[in-house]
């Protein structure tokens, strides 16, 4: 089954083609540089860029795979959650393709696609606990199959990725800040007492990072002159030498702060994941890590150590499949279509804050 995937949920435009687990083509365009000057994603700019980029990416993707539009069996599109204008651009493009080619249409929950991303590269043993960490979401799922996901924990306020980005902004580090903090953390030493591990004094599986953000802000405010006087460019921090030159005498302290802050977030995720594993009514087989923050070095290390200690498989996608991408959307759409679950042209985009409904219709 040849499935075309379309991803426009936020500020990354993607088109991909998959056949089963074979990724035939994957085209993507990042808008990070456009939004960096604003310190975050500007929805209007994002949707306009999606509109500009989708058609050429689609044509390039077909050419890469050596197929024609009539060869596509399924058109899969991220329908939400995300920025409404961005989602509408992708959903409209997908509807046009389905109407013009006769391909089946599948609207995919963007979060579900993230969780399944690793399945493109490796077989997942079930049941498993999946940890989804991104700029907008921090969720825990119990997975019993590719089609059975039970949400058991979620963020009550800021997500882990947002906590990273806002901390980086306080230090005048470039957007998106999570990757920059991870890079600087490699040069630092972890102080486990520097920041709290938030929202652990309970027995639930939810997350809250607002208190940690406040602790970080207070820590930085007490150290006058720690943050750089100007917004640092990402290219200036590509190497340790460059980072030392730009950050000057503050280099080591900032590196230690990044390492300690990252550890607090990562260990919080580990503890909540451990709770989820212990509460499963059946023996888990794996811990699955997904989402943009799944590339974070410390998060990967601590969750892998947790899996190893329990004798479980640890499964995380390659960095290319951690960020928003069309390959994961195409794979998720192909799994749904094979199960006989599709949509008609009444498919709606679902913005962040609303639950994505399971309103599938039987495939024709």
Does residue 82 share a domain with residue 146? no
φ and ψ of 175, to 5 deg: -90, 145
Q: What is the pLDDT of residue 231?
A: 66
Per-residue pLDDT band for 219 (boundaries 50, 70, 90) equals very high
Give residue-wise pLDDT tens across range 60-99. Answer: 999 999 999 999 999 999 999 999 999 999 999 999 999 9
Cα(184)–Cα(237) distance, integer angstroms: 8
Has 191 been labeled as part of a binding site?
no
Has 347 been labeled as part of a binding site?
no
* 101-110, 155-164, 300-309: range with lowest mean pLDDT: 155-164
Does residue 283 share a domain with residue 347? no
Has 114 been labeled as part of a binding site?
yes
Other C-beta atoms lying within 10 Å of the C-beta of residue 146: 18
Does residue 194 share a domain with residue 247? yes
Does residue 179 share a domain with residue 55? no
Has 135 been labeled as part of a binding site?
yes
Query: End-to-end alpha-carbon separation of the chain, Å?
Result: 15
Has 132 been labeled as part of a binding site?
yes
Does residue 240 share a domain with residue 163? yes
Q: What is the pLDDT of residue 229?
A: 63
Task: Write out the residue range of the structural domain in which residue 82 sits.
Answer: 2-117+321-362
Has 324 been labeled as part of a binding site?
yes
Has 136 been labeled as part of a binding site?
yes
φ and ψ of 36, to 5 deg: -60, -35
Has 137 been labeled as part of a binding site?
no
Number of domains in the chain: 2
Has 134 been labeled as part of a binding site?
yes
Does residue 301 share a domain with residue 258? yes
Residue 228 has pLDDT above 70, yes or no: no
Does residue 165 share a domain with residue 183? yes
Does residue 306 share a domain with residue 161? yes
Does residue 278 share a domain with residue 132? yes
Q: What is the dihedral of CA 253, 256, 257, 262, to 10 degrees?
A: 160
Does residue 186 share a domain with residue 87? no
Does residue 227 share a domain with residue 167? yes
Other C-beta atoms lying within 10 Å of the C-beta of residue 225: 8
CATH number where 173 lies: 3.30.420.40
Give residue-wise pLDDT tens across range 23-43. Answer: 999 999 887 777 766 777 888
């Amino acid at each position: 089954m040849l499935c075309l995937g379309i991803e426009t949920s936020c500020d990354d435009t993607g088109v991909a083609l998959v056949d089963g687990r074979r990724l035939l083509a994957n085209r993507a365009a990042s808008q990070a540089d456009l939004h960096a000057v604003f310190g975050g994603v500007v929805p209007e700019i994002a949707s306009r860029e999606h509109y500009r980029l989708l058609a050429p990416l689609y044509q390039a993707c077909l050419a890469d795979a050596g197929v024609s539009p009539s060869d596509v069996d399924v058109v899969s599109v991220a329908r939400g959650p995300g920025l409404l204008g961005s989602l509408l651009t992708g959903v409209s493009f997908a509807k046009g393709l389905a109407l013009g080619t006769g391909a089946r249409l599948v609207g995919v929950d963007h979060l579900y696609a993230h969780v399944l991303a690793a399945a493109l590269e490796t077989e997942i043993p079930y049941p498993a606990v999946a940890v989804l960490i991104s700029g907008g979401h921090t969720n825990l799922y119990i997975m019993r199959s590719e089609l059975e996901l039970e949400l058991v924990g979620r963020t009550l306020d800021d997500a882990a990725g947002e906590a990273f980005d806002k901390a980086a902004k306080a230090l005048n580090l470039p957007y998106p800040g999570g990757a920059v903090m991870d890079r600087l953390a490699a040069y630092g030493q972890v102080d486990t007492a520097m920041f709290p591990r938030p929202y652990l004094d309970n027995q639930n599986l939810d997350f809250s990072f607002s208190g940690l953000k406040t602790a970080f802000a207070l820590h930085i405010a007490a150290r006058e002159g720690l943050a750089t006087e100007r917004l640092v460019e990402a290219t200036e921090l590509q190497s340790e030498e460059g980072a030392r030159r730009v950050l000057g005498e503050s280099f080591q302290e900032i590196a230690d702060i990044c390492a300690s802050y990252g550890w607090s977030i990562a260990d919080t995720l580990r503890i909540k994941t451990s709770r989820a594993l212990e509460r499963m009514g059946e023996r888990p087989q794996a811990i699955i890590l997904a989402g943009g923050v799944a590339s974070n070095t410390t998060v990967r290390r601590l969750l892998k150590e947790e899996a190893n200690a329990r004798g479980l498989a640890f499964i995380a996608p390659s960095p290319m499949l951690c960020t928003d991408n069309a390959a994961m959307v195409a794979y998720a759409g192909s799994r749904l279509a094979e199960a006989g679950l599709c949509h008609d042209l009444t498919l709606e985009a679902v913005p962040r804050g609303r639950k994505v409904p399971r309103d599938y219709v039987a495939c024709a």
